[in-house]
Amino acid sequence: MKVQQVTVGMMSVCCYIVSCEKSGKAVVIDVGGDEEKIVAACTKGGLDVLYIISTHGHPDHVCGNGPLQQATGAKIIMPRADAEFFKNADVKSYFSMLGLPESPPADILIEHGDLINFGEESLTVIHTPGHTPGGVCLYSAPHCFTGDTLFVGGVGRTDFPGGSMHELSRSIKERILTLPPETIVWPGHGYGGSKSTIAKEMQSNPYLGTTALP
């Protein structure tokens, strides 16, 4: 599995181009803008993009889904719970202040435990609610794409509609920190760094101490 990290959009989202090195089949995770940059990277690598995956429904992570789908023909994958939550008129109104386009409707809805296959590779869906109701991480040893659930030295915000610190804490403790310590953490934003490992985060992330997580 080859992983290419590309920082995109006005919110500096960490977008990932993840590909099967044998077949050239690929997925793109969290398209937060700068679609032309993503298309150029995929073209340069000779990649066939099958899926556009959103780890959650916040506009800064889905605003490029439409243009990238038009450019590649890839299917859009969204967590089921977020696809429903972000249809809510009040939720749409709240996030419209960012001025970012919505994602087209998802072609495929995912839930905890689902597999996303591309070429000879696959990603396992880990439902990690807290930042949003449907937020997910995507795992294929030794890689974990954590979206806005876990950052390098931080965790996702819970003060937006649908956020819950209790749920986020439980998600991290029960479904992320239980992964092997050598697991590479690929975050949704590079606030504290572009990547880390579970072991490093357990040792140095101030939000993950035994007294930090509820």
Q: What is the CATH number of domain 2-204?
A: 3.60.15.10
pLDDT of residue 185: 98
CA distance to 41, 42, 78, 147, 211, per residue, from 55 (Å):
21, 20, 7, 6, 28
pLDDT in tens, 46-103: 999 999 999 999 999 999 999 999 999 999 999 999 999 998 888 888 888 788 899 9
Banded model confidence at residue 214, pLDDT cuts 50, 70, 90: low
Question: What 3-state class would DSSP assign to 203?
Answer: helix
**What are the helix (H) ranges across the chain?**
35-44, 59-62, 65-72, 80-85, 89-95, 165-171, 198-204
Question: Domain limits of the chain?
Answer: 2-204
Torsion-angle region of 5 (φ positive above 0: left; ψ -120 to 50: alpha; else: beta): beta
What is the band of 44 on the pLDDT scale with cuts at 50, 70, 90?
Answer: very high
Confidence at residue 212, expressed as pLDDT on a 0 to 100 scale: 54
Q: What is the pTM of this model?
A: 0.95
Position 213 confidence tier, pLDDT thresholds 50, 70, 90: low
* Confidence grade of residue 211 (pLDDT, cut at 50, 70, 90): very low
pLDDT of residue 17: 98
Integer distance in angstroms from the first to the last C-alpha of the chain?
Answer: 35
Cα–Cα distance, 119 to 131 (Å, whole number): 31
Q: Tell me, what's the pLDDT at 116?
A: 98
Could you tell me if 172 and 129 are in contact, meaning their C-beta atoms sit under 8 angstroms apart?
no
99: left (phi over 0), alpha (psi -120 to 50) or beta: left
Q: Mean pLDDT across the chain, nearest whole number?
A: 95
pLDDT at 125 over 90: yes
Render pLDDT for 129-147 as a digit per residue (tens, 0 to 9).
999 999 999 999 999 999 9
| pLDDT tens profile 182-209 | 999 999 999 999 999 999 999 999 998 6
* pLDDT (mean) for 18-44: 97
Q: Would you state the pLDDT for residue 46?
A: 97
